[in-house]
Every structure is written in C-alpha cells, then in structure tokens.
Amino acid sequence: MIHPQTQALLDLIEQRKLPPMHTLTAVEARRFYRDRRALTQPPAPAVHEIRELAADGPAGPIPLRLYKPAPRDPGLREPMPVLVYFHGGGWTIGDLDTHDVLCRQLANASHCAVVSVDYRMGPEHRFPAAVHDCMAATRWVRAHADTLGLDAGRLAVGGDSAGGNLAAVVAILARDEGDLPIAWQLLIYPATDMRAGHASHTSNGQGYLLTNETIRYYHDHYIGDVAHDADWRASPLLHTRLGGLPPALVLTAGFDPLRDEGLDYADALVAAGSQANYVCFERQIHGFITMGAVIDEANAAVALCAAELARALAR
C-alpha cells in the first residue's frame, strides 16, 4: 500500500486544489514549484561552507553552488570527494534553490562536497542543451578541483528524475570521451526512456502526483522532435553499450510512473557488466526524497544515498 504519510500529502494537495503542473505555463510552474517546497521540505541544515560559482558553458556561464561539509578530521587538509548534482523537474522546472536542502543533507551526511548545477531548461532551451551544460559543468568541476579543495579522482555524478537522466547520460559520455573519469553515479528515480511505454506508466499514471499528462508536458517542453526520443542522450536505456560505466545506485518509488524504466536501467547496467545496486521504496511516489518534512521515508532515502556516496568515494 502507499505510505499513510504520502497518502495524507496527496489528500492535502487535493483538498487545497493545487493546480497540476501541466495546467501552468513553464514560468508559472517554476514559481509554483519553488513556492510549494515550503509545504514539504525540512528546514535547511547549516553547512560548513557554501559558495556560488559559475562554470564555462557552451552558451555562457552555468551557475553552480558548492556545498562543503566540515571535514571528518579537521587536522587533515586533504581534498574532498565531490558529487556533481543535477536537479529534477522535468528539464523544465527546478533550480539551485529547489534542491538546496537535499544538497545540504547529502553533503553533511556523506562528508563529501556537492556541486549543484543550474543547467539550461526547456522550452527556452530544448534537448540537448541540458546535456551539454551538465557535461560542461562536470568537466569544469574536475578542471578546477585543486583550487576548490576537491579530489578530482573521487568525482561522482547524480540527480533525481530529469537530473537522474542527465547524470546517466553524463556518465556514458564521460566513458565514451575517455578523459573525464567518474567514480560513481547516483540515479534517483531516473527517467531513462522517453517513449514512456513501461507498464508503470499505466499502473501509476494517475493519482500519484506525477501523472501521464505532466510527463507529456515535461517531455514536450524538452524534446523538440519526437525522433529525439530514440537518441540515447535523451533515453540512456536505449544505448547499445552500457558496460564499462561507473558503479551506480538506482533508487525508485513503487507508485512512480518511472519505476519500471529505472529498474530496467539498473538491470541493463548489470547485464552489460557494470555494477548497479537497486533499491525501490515501494510505498512512495515520484519526488518523495525532497519531502522530508512530511514523509519519514524521505529522510531514510537521503541517509541511504549519502551512506552509499560516502562508501563509494572513500579512499
């Protein structure tokens, strides 16, 4: 069954008659998403150091936010491992602020630095603009690791939903280009197949916050030509060679339309010889990991991700 706390949230959204995302313009949806986080996100924990940065991007500066937790051993001045994080939001909404709490939580709990990336989004900047920005930002972080006190040899990528899609794509591009070693990937309910044909799109497509209509809305803001659905940079599950990729944690939710394509991606990684651990929070919905103020399992999921990040990037 769906978790009672999650059902209570869905009931509250229904009672307040909050508008579905697909009924809003992109500008309205972005504002609504930023405002709605106050309903579900816990207070932002303090972090030892936060810096606003900008990476050189293909269309201009890419805003970044660096989170550095207190070092495990203050007496050692060694560089920190780092997670480059891409926020969710259907390649249409979301920004550094909507995922600020999550990035703070991951940094503090893992003792790893986190760099959040504010990539370009649709409909103003369609596919593959976000891919280009995320790749450029990851390269920039590695190139500037020394000056930022980061360990370029312990660099991971991660993200949730659309951000999980982008993290998977960056990991594949980095492998293929051969000069950007990535140690690990964190894929939180990732979108991996733009064709939206998996069974969970039918079983979970209504009633659980992320609906079929909203998925189509995001898709159409990001993908300008339906032929791009078959491009692996949009649908990483369709890549014909998924071996030789960094180890992954793939996390899904049981009542998420994207559940099955996340599972299939984890299975495809393992079948190709890559390492992937898969965890499904069976009683949860898409987007739950940022909802720790009202869903206890969100905090458990953050703790799991942070623990696996710390383990993966340990010396």
**Catalytic residue annotation:** 161, 256, 286
Residue 166 CA to residue 170 CA, distance in Å, equals 6
Distance of CA 90 to the CA centre of its chain: 10
Rg (CA), the chain: 18
| Residue 104 near residue 47, CB atoms below 8 Å | yes
Beta bridge partners of 117: 64, 86
Token reading at 165:
């899609």
Across 163-180, b (16+ Cβ under 10 Å) vs e yields: bbbbbbbbbbbbbeeeeb
| Residue 187 near residue 170, CB atoms below 8 Å | no
Residue 151 CA to residue 159 CA, distance in Å, equals 20
| Residue 158 near residue 126, CB atoms below 8 Å | no
